[in-house]
Amino acid sequence: MRTVLSAATEKRNRNNRHRSIPVPHAVFEVVREQHAEPRAHQAEPRLLDRVREVIRFRHYSLRTEEAYLGWIRRFVRFHGNRHPETLGTEEVRSFLTDLAVNGKVAAPTQNQALSALLFLYQQVLKKEVGWLDDVERAQRPAKMPVVCTAEEVQAVLKEVKGATTRLMAHLLYGSGLRLMECLRLRIKDVDFARCQILVRDGKGSKDRVTMLPVRLVGPMQRHLVKVKGLHDEDLAEGFGHVHLPFALERKYARASRQWAWQYVFPSARRSRDPREPAAPDRRHHLSELVLQRAVKEAVRRAGVAKPITCHTFRHSFATHLLENGYDIRTVQELLGHKDVSTTMIYTHVLNRPGIGVRSPLDAA
């Protein structure tokens, strides 16, 4: 019996020696990685893609992104498509000099180009830029803001065509809003009960409260009835989304279709967000060109011989408040100025002959 069992055991062991032992899949993967050819290093992102990534990481505006990318492109092309890492102080100075001498750009434009290059070397290329201290910034001359009289403002506002553009122009003057602050207003930021407007993420990423003129409450409410109808149509067609700042769209998945987040002055057509091409079509706010062109035409029809722009209404708002005796600190808060010295410039354009000093010719 023992002999039969020994013979069977020996046969089984002999068969097991020729049988393949199952090996986990992960083991094959490790062996394959060890014997495979080394992988080629992934290509580094292009320079402009790196710039764009850093700009968006720092939450710069789309306008700043477009401006900085444009200046960096011009800088590279000016020096024969050489990489900026191979360029230094003389190349930067020659580029800025060409802008001033041949391009005849203004001092703020020249300084914007220098700021774009500083951002490139400091934030993107991570280079020591002490050598850029030798590059002089253009001196920006102090200029007086263009201010209209109350009669001139009313004459221009009367000539603005279109109910929506006329309402926007009245807000610029009646609330002291900047152009983009007006365009980016959302439903939730208009408080009819208190006659207030909450300006979100204004210049310098600051919030502030300003007034909603009582005369505009009725026109604004009638305008929002039409906007609500447009939003309801979008919802019925499966759209109704609006851009939300930062990560709010991920945090509040349904907020982008809610009425409170819609723009007060929406565009007539839906469009794709250039920063999120995979996102669904959204209802963005009106283009600033719509109001700029309307104001330009209104100035021409009113016959006012001043270089009036949309921002002139804001200058006039501040000046007229000071003329009416309001405290400069109050005006500073309404305008959202960080420093009162910025607001002080309007004291130099008050409608007072000779800044309160009587001319000797008038005394004669």
* Active site (catalytic) residues: 178, 203, 311, 314, 337, 346
Tell me if 146 sits within 8 A of 307, measured CB to CB. Answer: yes
Both tokens assigned to 264: 């007060």
Residue for token pair 């609330």? 175
CA-closest candidate to residue 120, choices 80, 81, 67: 67
Query: What is the C-alpha separation between 316 and 306, in angstroms, rounded?
Result: 13
Q: Which residues pair with 276 in a beta bridge?
A: 273
Q: Give residues with Cβ within 8 angstroms of 259, minimum separation 6.
A: 187, 228, 231
CA-closest candidate to residue 121, choices 71, 183, 159, 81: 71
Q: Which residues pair with 197 in a beta bridge?
A: 190, 210
Give the phi and the psi of residue 209 in degrees, each rounded to 5: -115, 135
* Cβ atoms within 10 Å, residue 131: 13
Scored b (16 or more CB within 10 A) or e, 64-94 reads bbebbbebbebbbeebeeeebeebeeebbee
Q: Which residues pair with 199 in a beta bridge?
A: 208
Write the CA distances from 360 to 176, 354, 364, integer angstroms.
37, 11, 6
Q: Which residues pair with 282 in a beta bridge?
A: 271
CA-closest candidate to residue 320, choices 352, 356, 351, 342: 351
Environment class of residue 310 by beta-carbon count within 10 Å: exposed (0-12), middle (13-18) or buried (19+)? buried
Query: How many C-alpha atoms does 161 have within 13 Å on its Cβ side?
Result: 10
Both tokens assigned to 60: 């710069």
Q: Give residues with Cβ within 8 angstroms of 354, minimum separation 6.
A: none
